[in-house]
Amino acid sequence: MFKNALALLGLSTAFVYLASGTQVPLGHESLVHPAFPNYAVRLKQSDEFCDGNVNTYTGYIDIEARHLFFYFFESRNDPDTDDVIFWTNGGPGCSSSLGLFMELGPCRVTKPNATTYNPYGWNDNANIFFIDQPVGVGFSYADYGEYVSTTEEAAQDIASFVAIFFEHFSKFKGRSFHMAGESYGGRYIPAFAAAIYDQNTALVNAGLTPINLTSIMIGNGCSEDVSMTLSYYDMQCQPISVDPVTDIATCVQMKRILPRCEKLLKESCVDTFDAINCAAANTFCRTAISGPFRATGYNPYDLSKLCEGELGDTLCYPITKQIRQFLDQPELRKLIGVDPSITNNFSSCNPEVGGRFHGALDSFFPTPFYISALLDRGIKTLLYVGANDWICNWVGNERMSLALEWTGKDAFNEIPLKEWKVKGEVAGLTRSSGGLSFVTIYGAGHMVPYDQPQISLEMLKRWLANEDF
């Protein structure tokens, strides 16, 4: 059966063999490649898992002592020609199982021990993998307690992951490759894509096929902290997407604080990265601007709804508890090849990982610099945002898009927002020029494919086909 799987994947048996001395669980093969002597792939074919209509693979890419877990689903349309998509959730520290089993995967968890077919999965016409990253997130782990605390450190593991992935899944070499992420993925994806773009030079020099990085897609991204923090006032105090949810007196107080916050954050976190003063400014501004919203009881991921359950327990969505219970099943873990050393209960988000990133003030790195550099190198960028989101909202994302310093800035900024439609119905607003597209989706919050699955799939198809919105 495994030889058949290799043939399906296009793996070259001349470059695939068992790692010497590696302990491999029964039914779980370990592959290495001479170009990557310190790396390996542990692979399991699990076609009865999630979507029985496509080839499905799960496992680990082992990067020395760090082990990144992934799920890979071939396209329902034509896996031999369709593009490849990389997906990561954010946090920082949250598992991509949320994106897989709640949003855009080929199935959705509907009970603690069951899934249902998702007709709007993004593998409808693309091959897609979901990764638990960085180490310590989901089923990913490190042998000796290694960890990363910045996006730039994580980017090196991801660049290695992607290079090894395409070397082993060789039939996908040369395909258009799109990197997508949500929420803190707005920080992750530009840095990860930049690392992969730069790594291509080394791959070519080593006689390997470079990664055909084509675009990045950021859903409800928090890519730039200052404009996003200031935009919280707009979302909760003005009828931007829904009626104001914060009382007038508090909004007036917040309005007076905005200029001070902008000045403090710009001086301490942007112009000079003064860690102590930046942390102090961030704490002050978050308390003054975010605090009042937290007190309302509304869902920070969807302003049109109250939070269901405790934010720290359910993320305001009870389905997240079902996903955790689903992934705690011993037989399910065995089926998908989770390393036997992982015996703890599944956690959707790892607070220790998030704490390290926040402690390093990682979110204040000028991520828009990466987006601008990628655009100027021909890498298309899609910024899509559910209109009802508060935490990584469309107002902050639009401001960030208009402030990007790239050669197409003037042309992009001159274009007014216009409506875009799906099946004759207005789906949101959009602005596109020179490889950069900004899109809002009405009726959706932070997790667009969860709230508007049909519209999100149509958006993806147009993007992959280079069609206008």
Q: Is 389 a catalytic residue?
A: yes
Q: Which residues pair with 70 in a beta bridge?
A: 59, 131
CA pair distance 163, 40, nearest whole angstrom = 12
Q: Kindly state the helix (H) or strand (E) to which residue 433 belongs, with its residue range.
A: strand 425-433
Q: Is 268 a catalytic residue?
A: no
Q: Which residues pair with 141 in a beta bridge?
A: 67
Q: Of 183, 363, 437, 456, which residue is the catalytic one?
A: 183
Query: Cα dist. 70→3, 21, 140, 158 in Å?
Result: 21, 23, 9, 12
Contacts of 35 (CB under 8 A, 6+ apart): 167, 206, 208
Task: Report residue 384: phi and psi, to 5°.
Answer: -115, 140
Please spell the DSSP secondary structure of 102-148, one letter per residue: IIISSEEEEETTEEEE-TT-GGGSSEEEEE--STTSTT-EETTS---
Helical segments of 169-306, H only: 185-205, 225-237, 248-265, 275-285, 291-294
Q: Of 389, 401, 451, 456, which residue is the catalytic one?
A: 389
Q: Is 313 a catalytic residue?
A: no
Q: Of 290, 437, 446, 451, which residue is the catalytic one?
A: 446
Place of tokens 């509304």: 298
Which SS3 state, helix, strand or coil, does residue 183 take? coil
**Active-site residue set:** 183, 389, 446
